Structure 1
Amino acid sequence: MRSGQQYGEPVESTATALGERATGWEFAWLDGRPGEPSWSYPELARALVRRAGAVLDLDTGSGELLAELAPLPPHTVAVESWARNTPVARDRLAPFGVAVLTELPGGEDEFDVVLSRHGRLPAADIYRLLRPGGRLLTQQVGSDDLAEINRILGAPPAYRQPWNAEVAAARLAAGGLEVTDIREEHPELVFTDVGSVVRRLRDLPWQIRDFTPERYAKGLERLDSIIRLRGPLTVAAHRFLLQAARG
């Protein structure tokens, strides 16, 4: 979920929504938390990286996840366009010999594997950059993610258009890639009190881009009443994973 407003992405880019949040922020802290899917993106990525001679990681964030996949192939490139994250990623990935770019590479047939965890999916560029037989692995946050919270609080949807496995697979296929694996889940996330909802919304600032407890006080009071009367609030997260190959 990055700037550039690609089809299906949230109303506000991550970088803008975060404002003055600390540098180095990325999605790695979500791994293994409630609301995450049954598959392990790092394990799937590690298996692909081990067999690759060249890897590209799109929207690498601060580079934490890519560093965890080490040892990395001799030719590994990361892309991170958010200015606050770029120097952090470069410092973290320099010991692994990884170049961190702010734009997509301009070449062709360069990489065996392209990774995109919660990042962009420019299908035509991915096709261009993959070698014949190369593979893409991506995990995305879907547009149904925590949508019930937005509804209860009276906030606008986080996404302008549907963003799910079907939409993403169609985009990749239109770009010439063969989709080989599609997984989509709506794992449950339980909130036992209104304070935990506030904390989650502060951690995920794109969910309600103008969120403050003061601005949404009435909605939070309504949510507090629901939890007190009915018990913990259970909402659906939304994650999907795709693998694709260039023929």
Structure 2
Amino acid sequence: MTSGRTFEDLVREAVDASVDGWDFSWFEGRATEERPPWGYARSMADRLAHASAALDIQTGGGEVLSCAPTLPPLTVATEGWPPNVARATALLHPRGAVVVASPEDAPLPFADAAFDLVTSRHPVRTYWHEIARVLCPGGTYFSQQIGPASAFEVVEYFLGPQPEEVRTGRDPRRAQAEAEAAGLEVTDLQEARLRMEFHDIGAVVHFLRKVIWMVPGFTVEQYEPRLRSLHERIETEGPFVAHSTRFLIEARKR
């Protein structure tokens, strides 16, 4: 099962790789993740094709939005991380979409009832009252979100057992309750648990550098003993297996 490559080479390669945007092509052949059954990007594109004014919140590098074949006449995306703002602008401006630099925790810089469709894929946090405010009556919020205890095999390998309140965070039922409290009617809620495999230690390092909330403040130097131990485990036993959780939520403004 050995890869034939040294720990140092694999880690150096992962550290040198760019983590800008939400392009996960670097993982090709090195890690896999089962996809949710509902096909978010395809379903999002279907909704965009029938919208007149759409907002994509926390768009990352604009990768998902830019793949939609048809964009509404008014399409806006927000993003808070400067490198991603530049990447999203390069992808979306040629499509006629506007990218607005906006901190994730700030009020949305738009008027009330400005959009008939709001989308977001894997938002850090969902500000339901702001979403309800910018949606016009009858408008829709459509989102794929990270569920509870996602990839916690990775998290707990490095950080140890997590408190129950951390493990049960991002509960879909809580999201539904918060949406309804903001004046939205939840019309669809689906959940999935998905297998992940890391085939070398470089994939683990790149994952933790890219998805920074998994192990906050992660550095190779701080976790080198654990990384070396995991490298040896992968080399002798095969892929490190974890499970991500996702949920799809769609809500309509009354």
Q: Name the TM-score class by shorter chain.
A: 0.7 to 0.9
Please report how far the alpha carbon of residue 105 of structure 1 lies from its aligned counterpart in structure 2 after TM superposition.
Answer: 3.1
Task: Decide whether aligned partners of structure 1 residues 232 and 61 sit closer, same or farther in structure 2, where only a CA change above 3 A counts.
Answer: closer
Distance in 2 separating the partners of 1:92 and 1:234? 33
Q: Which amino acid aligns with 2:138?
A: G
The change in CA–CA distance for 1:199 and 1:73 in structure 2 (over 3 A counts) is: closer
The residue number in structure 1 matching 2:171 is: 164
**What does 1:60-79 align with in structure 2 at a 5 Å threshold?**
60-79=59-78
* Structure 1: distance between partners of 2:222 and 2:205: 12
Partner in structure 2 of residue 10 of structure 1: none
| TM-score, normalisation: structure 2 | 0.76
Matched, 1:152 2:147: no
Q: CA RMSD in A?
A: 3.0
Identify the match of residue 127 of structure 2 among 117, 122, 125: 122
The aligned amino acid for 1:81 is: G
- Which residue of structure 2 lines up, in the alignment, with residue 12 of structure 1? none
Tell me the distance in 2 between the aligned counterparts of 1:43 and 1:107. Answer: 28
In the alignment, what sits opposite 1:85? 84
Partner SS, residue 94 of structure 1: helix
Is the Cα–Cα contact under 8 Å of residues 152 and 223 in structure 1 kept in the other structure? no
Runs of 5+ consecutive residues of structure 2 not aligned to the other structure: 1-15, 103-107
Deviation at 1:238, TM superposition (A): 1.3
Q: Please give the alpha-carbon distance, in whole angstroms, between the structure 2 residues aligned to 1:222 and 1:68.
A: 39
Residue identity matched to 1:163: R
The amino acid that maps onto 1:74 is P
Q: Does 1:95 align with 2:94?
A: yes
Report the counterpart of residue 8 of structure 2 in structure 1.
none
- In structure 1, the gaps of 5 or more residues are 1-19
Shift of 1:227: 5.0
Q: Distance in 1 between matches of 2:250 and 2:162?
A: 27
Distance 1:221 1:125 in 2: 45
Please give the alpha-carbon distance, in whole angstroms, between the structure 1 residues aligned to 2:197 and 2:228. 18
On the 8 A contact 2:120/2:142 being kept in 1, the answer is yes
Once the two structures are superposed, residues 202-221 of structure 1 have per-residue CA deviations (whole angstroms, 9 ceiling, x without a partner) of 34332112323332233334
